C-alpha cells in the first residue's frame, strides 16, 4: 500500500523523555522492528512509538542463522532507509556484533548510526564491564542507549541456542542485578528478551527506565516484535512469544494497527505467548 505522507495524521514526535513519561503514566510503549523505508512508513501510519532497526535483519532480511554476520555498514544502510520513512516515530538502531568491543569502536558506531544514519538512540546487548563503559561513554556524548538483557541473540553460541534465560533463581537474580547496573551506567531504556513472566515483572518493577519486553510477559512497560514474525512471513516455526497479526486481516497496515492496539490495551501478549 502506498503511504502518502500527507495522509499520515500529525503527531507529536516521540522522544526519549517522552518514553520515560509514558512509563510514569502507565501508558504501554509500542515498539516494532523495521528495516526499510516502506515498512517504516507503515509504522508511522499506525502510530507506533518506536521503530527498531534490529540486527535481526541478519536473519529475516539476509537469511543468516544468527545476527552475528551483520556489520556496522549494514546497520547504517538500513537505518538510513528506515529514517526516510519516519517522522514522529522514534528510531533506535542496534549496535551489531563486535561494534561494542571497546569504547572507541562504540563511539564510532554511535556517531555513524546517529549522526550519519538518523537514529535517535542505539541498542547494545549485555552488561559486561566493557558494555557498562560503552553505555556510560555514549550517554556522556548525549547518545541515548537502549540496553538489551535476557536472551541476547549475539550470545547465541554461549547460550547453546536461542534459549529462554532466567529460569533458575541464580540467573534470574543475575539478570535483575544486570538491569540495575545498565540503568546506573546511564541506559535510558531496556529491552528484555526471552525470560519468564515473573522475571519480566520483577525487572520492570525494579527499574525507573522503561522496560520493553519480547517474550518477557505482559507486565513490561511496552512490547517489541520482529515485524516479519508478527506478519507471519518468517520462514519456519513462528516463535512462541510472537503472534501472526496478519492472519484474518487484509493488509499490513491493519496488522500493525492491531498489534499497536493489543499492546496498548494489554491484550498482547496473552498467556500462550509467555514463559513460566
Find out whether 257 and 30 touch, Cβ atoms under 8 Å: no
> Which position among 44, 193, 201, 272 bears the catalytic label?
193
Q: Which residue is nearest to ligand KIV (CB)?
A: 54
- The number of helix segments (H) and strand segments (E) in the chain equals 11, 8
Nearest approach in angstroms of CB 149 to ligand KIV is 11
Q: Cell for 182?
A: 545498565
Whole-number Å distance between alpha carbons of 53 and 82:
8
| Choice between 114 and 224, CB closer to ligand KIV | 224
Quick one: which of 135, 120, 137, 134 has its CA closest to 16? 120
The one segment of 48-56, 104-112, 113-121, 157-165 that binds ligand KIV by CB under 6 A: 48-56
Does 226 contact ligand KIV by CB under 6 A? yes
Find out whether 85 and 256 touch, Cβ atoms under 8 Å: no
Within 54-118, strands assigned E span: 90-94
Q: Active-site residue 193, yes or no? A: yes
Does 76 contact ligand KIV by CB under 6 A? no
Phi, psi angles (nearest 5°) of residue 3: -105, 110
Does 72 contact ligand KIV by CB under 6 A? no
The residues in 237-276 that bind ligand KIV, with binding defined as CB under 6 A, are none
Place of cell 507506533: 48
Does 229 contact ligand KIV by CB under 6 A? no
Q: Site for ligand KIV (CB under 6 A): which residue of 32, 145, 179, 191?
A: 191
Return the active site residues.
Answer: 193
Give the interface with ligand KIV as residue ranges (CB under 6 A).
Answer: 33, 52, 54-56, 94, 148, 191, 193, 214, 224, 226
Amino acid at each position: 500500500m502506498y503511504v502518502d505522507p500527507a495522509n499520515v495524521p500529525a503527531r507529536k514526535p516521540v522522544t526519549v523523555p517522552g518514553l520515560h513519561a509514558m512509563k510514569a503514566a502507565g501508558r504501554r510503549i509500542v515498539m516494532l522492528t523495521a528495516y526499510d523505508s516502506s515498512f517504516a512508513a507503515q509504522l508511522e501510519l499506525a502510530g507506533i512509538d518506536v521503530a527498531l532497526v534490529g540486527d535481526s535483519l541478519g536473519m529475516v532480511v539476509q537469511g543468516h542463522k544468527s545476527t552475528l554476520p551483520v556489520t556496522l555498514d549494514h546497520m547504517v544502510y538500513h537505518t538510513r532507509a528506515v529514517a526516510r520513512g519516519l517522522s514522529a516515530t522514534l528510531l533506535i538502531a542496534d549496535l551489531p556484533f563486535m561494534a561494542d568491543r571497546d569504547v572507541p569502536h562504540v563511539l564510532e558506531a554511535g556517531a555513524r548510526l546517529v549522526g550519519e544514519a538518523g537514529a535517535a538512540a542505539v541498542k547494545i546487548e549485555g552488561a559486561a564491564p566493557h558494555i557498562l563503559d560503552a553505555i556510560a561513554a555514549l550517554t556522556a556524548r548525549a547518545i541515548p542507549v537502549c540496553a538489551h538483557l535476557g536472551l541476547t541473540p549475539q550470545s547465541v553460541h554461549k547460550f547453546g541456542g536461542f534459549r529462554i534465560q532466567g529460569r533458575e533463581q541464580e540467573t534470574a537474580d543475575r539478570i535483575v542485578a544486570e538491569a540495575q547496573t545498565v540503568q546506573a551506567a546511564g541506559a535510558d531504556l531496556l529491552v528484555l528478551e526471552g525470560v519468564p513472566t515473573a522475571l519480566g515483572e520483577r525487572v520492570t518493577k525494579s527499574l525507573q527506565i522503561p522496560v520493553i519486553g519480547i517474550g518477557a510477559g505482559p507486565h513490561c512497560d511496552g512490547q517489541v516484535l520482529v515485524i516479519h514474525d508478527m506478519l507471519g512471513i518468517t520462514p519456519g516455526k513462528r516463535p512462541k512469544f510472537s503472534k501472526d497479526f496478519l492472519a484474518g486481516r487484509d493488509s499490513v497496515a491493519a496488522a500493525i494497527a492491531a498489534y499497536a492496539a493489543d499492546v496498548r490495551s494489554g491484550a498482547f501478549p496473552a498467556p500462550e505467548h509467555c514463559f513460566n
